Amino acid sequence: MERWILTVITFWPLVVLAGVLCIPGRLERFIKWFSIVGSLPPLALSVWLWMDYSGQAGMRYVMKAPWISAIGVDYHVGADGLSVPMFFLTALLTTLSLIYSLNITVRVKEYFALFLLLQTGMFGVFASLDYFLFYVFWEISLVPMYFLIGIWGGPRREYAAIKFFLYTLVGSVCMLLAILALYFATGAETFDMLRIAEQQPFAGRGVVQSLVFWALFLGFAIKVPVWPFHTWLPDAHVEAPTAGSVILAGVLLKMGCYGFLRILLPTLPEVSAQYSLWIGVLALISIVYGAFVAMAQMDFKKLIAYSSVNHMGYVMLGIAAASSLTAADLTDRATALNGAMLQMFSHGVITGALFLLVGVIYERAHTRDLREFGGLGAVMSRYSVALWASCFASLGLPGMSGFVAEFFVFRGAFPAYLLLTCLATIGLVVTAAYLLWTIQRVLLGPTNERWAKLPDMDAREVVSVLPLMILMVLFGVYPKPILDILNGFARQLAALFGAG
């Protein structure tokens, strides 16, 4: 059973997708509930995966079989402390997004079919241990999101969808060239990620190693996105349907961070250490720039989009500190990596909730202009509690998961890059400012008479948001269950960069 579990999780959505395609399009309600119920087995299996892996270390649930033997391609999957939480996050956000999407009325069959295809692509990225397989799933995840934005998005959906597709495709092409370089450097024998990482094929080859590094960096940095490769993100988020924004922020951005941790650092540790300061500088700019630009936004959804640039900067700061050419010891580096991975998970939960809450208010008021609101805390009590909790978690309030993640990043980065870490605290202050100002504009003050009779969150919306709120608090108060999973991978990767 163990060796099959990742295959079942990855391809089960395609089974459900086949069922959806067989259902007559007029049975819209049945299609919706069939898709939601069909998304539950991967969620249940991801919970089992989490519980079974807890306290372990190393790669498990490995399955390897020949696929395209002529060029050394295998069907090779496995999971470790980096990927297990990502499986759970992907499964949870997909199920909650499908529940929220019960209100979809346009081309229902295609919408839910694309969501299921997207889920398989995301699962496949986190399961793959073969570069060819990884690239196939990476590209699969791009196509459904393009259509979700382009068909069910806002007024500028075609522009946003094309911009998203082209930006990501440029990164994918660069990544493909780097993968081919790694493949030929091994003698054209294998695409196995673990074997190539062990061989260190470009060690000591300065120029070639740097070219491969920057090609991979560009592919992953666009996906994160790191400044200045972030400009596709606000348009994609603003125009995407609510559930699409949840998946885009909650999972697709994490694929870029996952690429840094799974591929770039283990495969090219020497050059990663050489360029770690530059990555740290870009991370700092992302943190500060993202926070200030978010503060300037009047569009609620665009504000949350720019907050993602800010928060993903903390992930990159942790990655830079862990790979630095400094006197940081193994504990410092592992702490920075734990913080980066916890921030990946925490950001997915928190920002997913925030985008759902933006969708809730937009469906009622048909505007996202923050200047149009005010006093909703007295009108929508359930919405008020959810928004307070999500904003506090996002700004890093102690007792919330965002605080734990950011604290670990700063603790780990401080010995490596003191100045960068101190300057990054500017982002913390500005983040608190724009989120508190958002709460003030939306929930506090006199009630705008236009919204005096807005209905509160219904059962569909509460069910979509409540599990995320529980996780924010649970891992803020008691982060041990997730840190037990992350720490084994963090220490193993940190050991590649020595004790300084």
What span, in angstroms and rounded, lies between the C-alpha atoms of 87 and 403?
Answer: 23
Interval 258-270 mean pLDDT: 91
Q: Mean pLDDT, the chain, as a whole number?
A: 89
Confidence check: pLDDT of 113 > 60 = yes
| Residue 275 burial (10 A CB sphere; 0-12, 13-18, 19+) | middle
Interval 18-45 mean pLDDT: 92
Contact 271, 209 (CB under 8 A): yes
Interval 203-221 mean pLDDT: 85
Confidence check: pLDDT of 203 > 80 = no
Query: How is the chain split into domains, by residue range?
Result: 288-500
Confidence check: pLDDT of 19 > 50 = yes
Query: Of 256, 8, 231, whose CA–CA distance to 142 is shortest?
Result: 256
Interval 347-356 mean pLDDT: 94
Confidence check: pLDDT of 245 > 60 = yes
What is the per-residue pLDDT for 326?
Answer: 75
Please, which residues have CB within 8 angstroms of residue 145's CB and are 6 or more apart in sequence?
A: 118, 164, 240, 244, 247, 248, 252
% of the chain residues with pLDDT over 70: 98
What is the per-residue pLDDT for 1?
Answer: 63
* Per-residue H/E/C for 203-215: CCCHHHHHHHHHH
Tens digit of pLDDT for each residue in 292-315?
999 999 888 999 999 989 999 999
Tens digit of pLDDT for each residue in 44-101?
999 999 998 876 778 889 998 989 888 888 999 999 989 999 999 999 999 999 999 9
Strands 73-79 and 60-68, sheet pairing: antiparallel
What is the per-residue pLDDT for 416?
Answer: 87
Confidence check: pLDDT of 500 > 70 = no
What is the per-residue pLDDT for 329?
Answer: 81
Q: Which residue has the higher pLDDT, 327 or 3?
A: 3
What is the per-residue pLDDT for 390?
Answer: 92
What is the per-residue pLDDT for 37?
Answer: 93
